[in-house]
A and B are shown apart, each in its own frame.
Chain A
């Protein structure tokens, strides 16, 4: 598989992960306990996805791990502290 094809495949997987997360969030709206767990799970899955994505690309560097970690934290902290 070429680089651009595998990139597209990995981005499609991420698209599926976050779409499932958003759909579950809407389905369980007003049930704050489940909503919180969905946010944690989706952000965790995003971070794991990033590790795999960059591992397969061969550029998994510490600075990149930190970058994804900060974006995942941003999502978790803002949504949980706003909504709950």
Chain B
């Protein structure tokens, strides 16, 4: 047992002077274990929808305020809050949950403009931003502003109104928060409300789509589970590579093998990328 352990982690004449854990066959085995774990997570989302998920602190009011803050920073006038556009934004989010998709166009061919028009909003120009799996409004807004196409909607001087839908539900078996921004300029500008929106109006933009119960914060984030397992594997392999490199260098062992320094550098950067990645997607 001790010998097997030694062969796994240390170079030795019985493992061809290379720790077994960093030999291609064993690395492929670790990869298979990881993929098996991913399959279990996927199966769990199908068998028990809503067990895994992302928690969120995003509110319609914070999205509205931060959008106008970005416009103010760009020297633009603020967009006014539209209850009609908010209704279309909530409808769009509801439709994504109902039909289980994540895109601007629905599987049955509905475009964002169909949702806006269906609510009786006649516009000269309109736009849509989508986001999911973000924990807070700051990081979501930052992601939108880093994307040229989403930023173009937020700081578009042609838009006069905005509607926001923040809806919690289960998408692809995972609890999540979908955020929809609908921008528009009505054909009849006299319909624009210049009043400061009331809290009640924002509440109508905030919906919970759980079958019957009040939305509860999910216990486990699928990203965090996969990140933890993936990071552990990288740390294990990097550690064994480092031990292997040290012993080989110390013993001046000659062997045909890849560059340990190269492997360590590459895997360390990939580990870094894996750890700094944040949840959240924009579309």
Contacts and interface: CB of A to CB of B under 8 A. Distances in A.
Nearest to B228: A82
Identify which of A46, A67, A68 gathers the most chain B CB atoms within 10 Å of its CB. A67
A82 B226 contact: yes
A37 to B, nearest CB: 13
Interface string A4-30: 000100010011001101100111111
A73 B269 CA distance: 15
Interface range for B = 35 or more
Contact of A28 (B24, B146, B261, B266): B146
Interface residues of A, number: 43
Contact of B263 (A28, A54, A71, A83): A71
Q: Chain A contact residues: over half helix, strand or loop, or mixed?
A: helix
Majority DSSP secondary structure for residues of B touching A: helix
B258 A68 contact: yes
B259 interface: yes
A65 to B, nearest CB: 9
B223 A14 contact: no
A47 to B, nearest CB: 10
Contact of B282 (A18, A21, A27, A30): A30
Interface of A: 7, 11, 14-15, 18-19, 21-22, 25-32, 35, 39, 42, 46, 49-50, 53-54, 59, 61, 63-64, 66-71, 73-75, 77-79, 81-83
Interface of B: 24, 27-28, 30-31, 34-35, 38, 139, 142-143, 146-147, 223, 226-227, 230, 233-234, 237, 256-259, 261-263, 265-267, 269-270, 272-274, 276-278, 280-282
12 contacts: A11-B259, A19-B269, A27-B146, A29-B278, A50-B262, A64-B257, A74-B237, A75-B266, A78-B270, A82-B38, A82-B230, A83-B277
